[in-house]
Amino acid sequence: MTLLKEKDYGTPLSASQKQVALEIDGRKVSVPEGTSVMRAAFEVGIDIPKLCATDSLKPFGSCRLCVVEVEGRNGTPGSCHTEVAAGMKVTTHSERLARLRSNLMELYLSDHPADCPACAMGECEIKELAKKIGVKANRYGLEGKNHLHAAKDESNPYFTFDPAQCIVCSRCVRACEEVQGTFALTVEGRGFDSVIAASQNDSFLKSECVSCGACVQACPTGALLEKSTIEHGAGDQTVLTTCAYCGVGCSFKAEVKAKQVVRMVPFKDGKANAGHSCVKGRFAWGYATHPDRVRSPMLRKKITDPWREVSWDEALKYAAGEFKRLQEKYGRNAIGGIASARCTIEETFLVQKMVRACFGNNNIDNCARVCHSPTGYGLKATLGTSAGTQDFASVDHADVIMVVGSNPPEAHPVFASRMKRRLRAGAKLIVIDPRKTGMVRSPHIEADYHLALKPGTNVAVLDAMAHVIVTEGLADEDFIKNRCDADGYALWREFISDKRNSPEALEERSGVPAEDIRGAARLYAAAGNVAIYYGLGVSEHSQGSVGVMCLANLAMATGNLGREGVGVSPLRGQNNVQGSCDMGCFPHELPGYRHVSDDAARAVFEKEWGVTLDKEPGLRIPNMIDTAVMGQFKGLYIQGEDLAQSDPDIQYEAAGLKAMEFVVVHDLFMNETVKYAHVFLPGASFLEKDGCFINAERRINRIRKAVEPLGGKADWEGTMGLAKAMGYDMHYNHPSEILDEIARTTPSFAGVSYEKLDELGGIQWPCNAAAPAGTPVMHVDHIVRNPGMFTLTEYVPTEEKTTPKFPLLLTTGRILSQYNVGTQTRRTENTIWHHEDVLEIHPHDAEQRGIREGDLVSLQSRKGDTHLHAVLSERVQPGVVYTTFHFAESGANVVTTEYSDWATECPEYKVTAVEVKLTHKLSNWQEERSKDHG
């Protein structure tokens, strides 16, 4: 497609259902009440000059170029901030208006570089607008007072701020406030001395700016411009695609020039992001062409041998031979595969198909095992479907938002901005998190309740909230009676009403004052619409699945399901982790969450694939490692997953990988797991292939190929080649054929095709005959499980307890600029904000240990130790320390333990008993790793 530029209607769309009829330039127009005259004019193709107005922001009325005449009214009102009225007659172009606009434009030109580079490359609207208005020169010249020699701010790695090109229209300031919600920018000074300033006149880099790019997007001139655009110019072709970072799934326009991506611009019509972005999706895509990308398959017979570049054919034949040899020697179940939540649904579907149809077993898993597998289990058990209940837009209708174990401003920033908009508009907020995250207090937002619980006590706190709701008569009995299992409710009601589940009984365990829990529960139960959003702070616990079931119980008990503004929504970590679960990349489930023991479901795939399928569950990732350590699991194909960095207790993980006789890693980079691999297959980035990702809303979003795969094959082609080399020929000419197979075999995807996705944009499953355009909100007429099932959620304290030797609790998480194990973001300029993982420790705990800011400290658990620099922070409570896991050398997972969720074996990353001490050197593990890496 040629370069796509969305139409800008100047002001936001009005949500009103009431239509208003008026006349603009003699044309009859009908628009929703509340629409601006400017937007009404643009809707019918009448162009009004503008600079300070854009349809992502509220009208501001500063540039005055959009003035119009309204019959019967004095003066020339700005059309951006004049709302339509019935019978109004508007004139947008007249001699008087032309004169006014021309005078204004001359003034703008008198302080605009004559040789504006951005104007030349089409990135600045000034000269083009002047031409439209008919201004060829300005009578004031450039000699008067101006800003033409103001210094450029080039501190941000991704964009520059050039005051010489700035017209102080405040679009950037307003974008930072209204779209992003950071309030980092302001207009400093008065009158002609007004300038845009970041924070307290800091550089952009040192300011509170989070580099989301909203200001760059909003800027009508070249004042704020991407460095990549300055270097390469704008693209000449647009490829519509989806971001490959978090589970928000933002739509982007990849701009391509000379077979190279030169810019990523958030797509205004993107259903998940509505034109917004974060620093990762907008700017941190340079990893895709980083020199570290491996461009050829590699092979070695022993993990101590050097790597040898080989052809795809040789690598696949060798891998196939080894997998067959292992199965002949050790049995069918001695090998398995791991699908990647980073890859497309077509690719994850193919990996599970290869494992099931070609390997002949169910030893298939994906990274949800270590993040949201409890979501799948918990929501299925209670509500009947293993996914979130809402679309993101639903939050606009929430009266109370409850954020549990999730830090959206860091981990799901684009959705966080949307959530914050709703909070600034008056919604109440409950945060349940051991840390003072960015949700607890930020500009113009403060949580009504922050239940700062001790790590590992989610279930205690959520049970206590439910106890209050039930015992104080706040439950929605009508909803329960109509939609939930009566026996299940009676059992749960009795269980939860027991005094052992009261806030007072659990106060000491949880560390949360009983009155705060009672207050939060009352707020939750009394509000009209309550929406729960949760993250890994719920799932990554020994009771992760129970925590999820607690949330579903709360929603059912208060009738907060089945409409906009309510629900239980997991904020999923990886771009396609929802999709890889949907595609059956689990050892117990076929695509569409049907258990492998389901004869009818197996029959569908047996017919399609021409094989007999195993009806017994296979090995989960931790089971594969256990079984390998025990000498019975011998070979593994790993697509886009770095087990040796991301999984817990990594010394045990490493022992398991080392015990295998043959490991294939299919990835973009030589990650930590490659140390144990025998064949490396070069992966393709999201810019190099076609397919779909499914985000946290269940939205199936297309990704489209912008450039050729650097390694020669898209990942689906690699998997297809491996299966063929093993003797199972699954041939597809294009990923669309794989999606067709998914639609044929999986009822919730029955209505999905590339054609429909192209036509409708992202579609939320289920999409079938009953819901041909997809399902934004689940459980509308009834709970999918029908009836909904309350489950008993006894609080079982984790066995990972503090002791005199390990008196602190470590919890782990993410930071905005880095992404998971950092494979991608560490290879971008994002390292300027976060170049190492650090340990947050409360000043009180630090003082007791003689630790000062920046000191190197040892972090030791019963599993191992690693050394990090300390940051003193009151974000963590006394007794709790916190770190991230973005850098392999930090070794956060050397410390985490083998404990996991009882139901899904999702690791208990969020609770590890540790001690922190001053040190002056790296840990033994770090020294050894350092030697390995030269």
Interface with other proteins (CB under 8 A): 333, 491, 495, 542-543, 546, 587-588, 595, 597, 616-620, 623, 626-627, 629-630, 632, 792, 794, 796, 799, 898-899, 902-905
Residue 210 or 379 having the CB closest to other proteins: 379
To the nearest whole angstrom, how small is the minimum distance from the Cβ of residue 498 to other proteins? 9
Residue 202 or 898 having the CB closest to other proteins: 898
Q: Is 50 left (phi over 0), alpha (psi -120 to 50) or beta?
A: beta
Residue 214 or 624 having the CB closest to other proteins: 624
Q: How many CB atoms lie within 10 A of CB 877?
A: 19
Residue 1 or 490 having the CB closest to other proteins: 490
The alpha carbon of residue 188 and the mean position of all alpha carbons in its chain are separated, in whole angstroms, by 34
Q: Which of 419, 366, 304, 409 is nearest to 581 (CA)?
A: 366
To the nearest whole angstrom, how small is the minimum distance from the Cβ of residue 616 to other proteins? 5
Tell me, what amino acid is at 459? V
Residue 513 or 797 having the CB closest to other proteins: 797
Q: Which residues contact 929 (CB under 8 A, 6 or more apart)?
A: 888, 889, 891
CA separation for the pair 105, 126 (Å, rounded): 8
Please report, in angstroms and rounded to a whole number, the separation of the first and last CA atoms in the chain: 46
Q: Which of 273, 253, 271 is nearest to 761 (CA)?
A: 271
Q: Which residues contact 689 (CB under 8 A, 6 or more apart)?
A: 344, 703, 705, 709, 714, 715, 716, 735
DSSP-derived pairing of the beta strands 428-432 and 449-451: parallel
Residue 616 or 927 having the CB closest to other proteins: 616
Residue 597 or 930 having the CB closest to other proteins: 597
To the nearest whole angstrom, how small is the minimum distance from the Cβ of residue 666 to other proteins? 25
Residue 502 or 627 having the CB closest to other proteins: 627
To the nearest whole angstrom, how small is the minimum distance from the Cβ of residue 380 to other proteins? 11
Residue 672 or 901 having the CB closest to other proteins: 901
Instruction: Give the helix/strand (H/E) hosting 813.
Output: strand 808-813
To the nearest whole angstrom, how small is the minimum distance from the Cβ of residue 929 to other proteins? 26
Task: Tell me the residue ranges of DSSP E strands in 303-411.
Answer: 308-309, 335-339, 364-366, 400-404
To the nearest whole angstrom, how small is the minimum distance from the Cβ of residue 455 to other proteins? 18
Task: Enumerate long-range contacts of 919-923, CB under 8 Å, 24 or more apart.
Answer: 919/856, 919/857, 919/858, 919/867, 920/856, 921/856, 921/867, 922/867, 923/858, 923/864, 923/865, 923/866, 923/867, 923/891, 923/894
Tell me, what amino acid is at 426? G
Dihedral of CA atoms 168, 171, 177, 182 in degrees, nearest 10, equals: -80
CA separation for the pair 831, 854 (Å, rounded): 18
To the nearest whole angstrom, how small is the minimum distance from the Cβ of residue 794 to other proteins? 4
Q: Which residues contact 87 (CB under 8 A, 6 or more apart)?
A: 21, 22
Q: How many CB atoms lie within 10 A of CB 850?
A: 9
Residue in the block written with tokens 């501190």: 155
To the nearest whole angstrom, how small is the minimum distance from the Cβ of residue 655 to other proteins? 12
To the nearest whole angstrom, how small is the minimum distance from the Cβ of residue 792 to other proteins? 4
To the nearest whole angstrom, how small is the minimum distance from the Cβ of residue 543 to other proteins? 7
Strand partners, 299: 308, 679
Task: Tell me the residue ranges of DSSP E strands in 219-342.
Answer: 224-226, 237-242, 251-257, 260-266, 298-299, 308-309, 335-339
To the nearest whole angstrom, how small is the minimum distance from the Cβ of residue 297 to other proteins? 32
- 885 close to 648: Cβ distance less than 8 angstroms: no
CA separation for the pair 596, 447 (Å, rounded): 44
Residue 138 or 363 having the CB closest to other proteins: 363
Residue 111 or 905 having the CB closest to other proteins: 905
- 159 close to 217: Cβ distance less than 8 angstroms: no
Residue 281 or 547 having the CB closest to other proteins: 547
To the nearest whole angstrom, how small is the minimum distance from the Cβ of residue 546 to other proteins? 6
Tell me, what amino acid is at 144? G
To the nearest whole angstrom, how small is the minimum distance from the Cβ of residue 512 to other proteins? 22
Describe the strand order of the beta sheet including 568-570 as a list of residue ranges: 449-451, 428-432, 400-404, 530-534, 568-570
To the nearest whole angstrom, how small is the minimum distance from the Cβ of residue 542 to other proteins? 7
Residue 486 or 630 having the CB closest to other proteins: 630
To the nearest whole angstrom, how small is the minimum distance from the Cβ of residue 630 to other proteins? 6
Q: Which residues contact 894 (CB under 8 A, 6 or more apart)?
A: 650, 651, 863, 864, 865, 866, 923, 925
Residue 495 or 749 having the CB closest to other proteins: 495
Q: Which of 700, 716, 805, 718 is nearest to 760 (CA)?
A: 700
- 674 close to 300: Cβ distance less than 8 angstroms: no
Task: Tell me the residue ranges of DSSP E strands in 270-423.
Answer: 298-299, 308-309, 335-339, 364-366, 400-404
Cα-based distances in Å from 116 to 65, 113, 230, 737, 763: 21, 5, 12, 49, 42
Residue 250 or 619 having the CB closest to other proteins: 619
To the nearest whole angstrom, how small is the minimum distance from the Cβ of residue 758 to other proteins? 38
Residue 132 or 595 having the CB closest to other proteins: 595
